[in-house]
Amino acid sequence: MSALLCTIVRQPSRSKSLHQSSKAINRFVKLFSSSVPRHKGLVLGVYEPNSEEGEFLLTPAAQKFNEHVSGKLKRVLKGTAGKKLKCGSSRVLFGLEETDFTSVAVVNLGKQDVDFDEDEQVYQGKENVRTAVAGALRLLRDAGETEVEVETCGDAQAAAEASFLSLHSFDEFRAEKDRTPSVKVTLFSEEIEQGSQVVEKWAKGEILAAGQNFARYLMESPANKMTPTIFSEKVGENLSQLPNCKVYIRDQSWARSMNMGSFLSVAKGSEEEPKFLEIDYEGGKSDEAPVIFVGKGVTFDSGGISIKPSANMDNMRADMGGAACVAGSLQAAARLGLPINIKALIPLCENMPSGKANKPGDVVTAMNGKTIQVDNTDAEGRLILADALCYAETFHPKLILDVATLTGAVMVALGAGVTGTYTKSEPIWNTIHTAGMITGDRMWRMPLLKYYTKQVTKADLADVDNVGKKRGEAGSCTAAAFLQEFVSTKEWIHLDIAGVMINIDDVPYLGKGMSGRPTRTLVQFLELLSKQ
């Protein structure tokens, strides 16, 4: 049963809805649950006592399991192990009689019925589930379990997100013996039998995690293994198979025909040919204006002639993080069947120093005819986005959202806690702010003032300057002001994700490495838009 169940949940039929998939799962559970033996780990949740002298409160699944093992789970929690069980942490129990599970991880989910935290701007109960489940799964993996069932812990979607995000690893180029052990994760079979709604929420969480993990895979890949051409092919192979998705890979001659001089000026420093990826997802009505996502796709950023320091330059393989998040969010939106039209625009190139590369002081011309003075070739992301934003406007979109690992300045200002967000539209801001509160991947609004616009429109040689006259001041704000010069609609929002590009220990349910943030927030944003 477990193997069949995992196959169905991880790869739902594209021709069926989540509801239809869940009905199929239930049929398989009833057919096979009694005949296939289990030998695996289990994750169960408990809530903190209501008082210092009180007992842990068991979730319904944990309560049922406790009855199955004759109350042993509660007795263990009353002892020393229970007293040391802090919020978000786990205890692994081995050898429980009367059960086929070889180990059981008990996780502390914090206080019961925790909801929105005004101070932290997040639904804390969901974050508690994600953190606790992720920690438990890693413990069971370290204990040698290769299959684990996870109960919902009160939020099936959050539990699934944590399960598949926490176990993701990038081992493609490691020897087999050095790879992180794989773990097959499924929803606790006792809860599957409760009905389709729980299964649908679990499946949705897995789809969201898969989208973010796809972004992480793209970001983590070495730059020589993820060139503009390879990125286009990987994303094309992935998304073109999904319902209502069409992928177009444009070449350099196409970009030249579109007068994308700003984009091509960055690309010319590299031997790798630039690509412009265009993806259509048509989930809404045929006459409905699309939401356009624009993702920065610099597959390696050396800084160009204004070359970066060598320390940590290898991380610049992920300077296409915006493009990766856009691709991951489109994958998830298509698999969820969101009723909305989306167009993704992804300019892809490398930023390299060569005899053909941009030089400080050069002037280039964008698609809309504006001239740009390139005073720093390491401020290249805004140059490729400028043309993509101009192109986006030709589709008369409902709104435009661009996402980019744009500035180190946003990392200094906000760190890894939130994504820097710029928009003049209150409805758009409210929607993405809400999306971030739900996913735990929060947004923070930054200023788009005329003060910053003046910094980039006082160029000596051209209409705009790509870094502004006050070097080193408010770099993320002036970068946003620069981009604003290439959109005429007020229905525009810019996300500067450089601060959230890498996860060290900032998000406990993500491992170290490229984070794929804020993919799940982009999907939640699309879902909220589709309901408006």
Catalytic site positions: 308, 382
Interhelix angle 228-239/196-220, rounded to 10 degrees, is: 160
Interhelix angle 18-32/2-10, rounded to 10 degrees, is: 170
In angstroms, rounded to a whole number, what is the distance separating the alpha carbons of residues 429 and 414?
A: 18
Q: Which residues pair with residue 184 across a beta bridge?
A: 147
In angstroms, rounded to a whole number, what is the distance separating the alpha carbons of residues 410 and 498?
A: 7
In angstroms, rounded to a whole number, what is the distance separating the alpha carbons of residues 38 and 141?
A: 17
Q: Which residues pair with residue 106 across a beta bridge?
A: 44, 91
Residue 318: other Cβ atoms inside 10 A: 29
Q: What is the CA radius of gyration of the chain?
A: 24
Q: Which residues pair with residue 190 across a beta bridge?
A: none
Q: Which long-range contacts (CB under 8 A, 24 or more apart) does 74-78 make?
A: 76/106, 77/46, 77/106
Is the N-terminal amide bond of 518 cis, ω within 30° of 0? Answer: yes
Distance of CA 432 to CAs 324, 404, 435, Å? Answer: 19, 16, 5
SS3 content of the chain, % helix, strand, coil (to 5): 40, 20, 40
Identify which of 404, 303, 408 has the alpha carbon closest to the alpha carbon of residue 352: 303
In angstroms, rounded to a whole number, what is the distance separating the alpha carbons of residues 39 and 453?
A: 62
In angstroms, rounded to a whole number, what is the distance separating the alpha carbons of residues 367 and 488?
A: 13
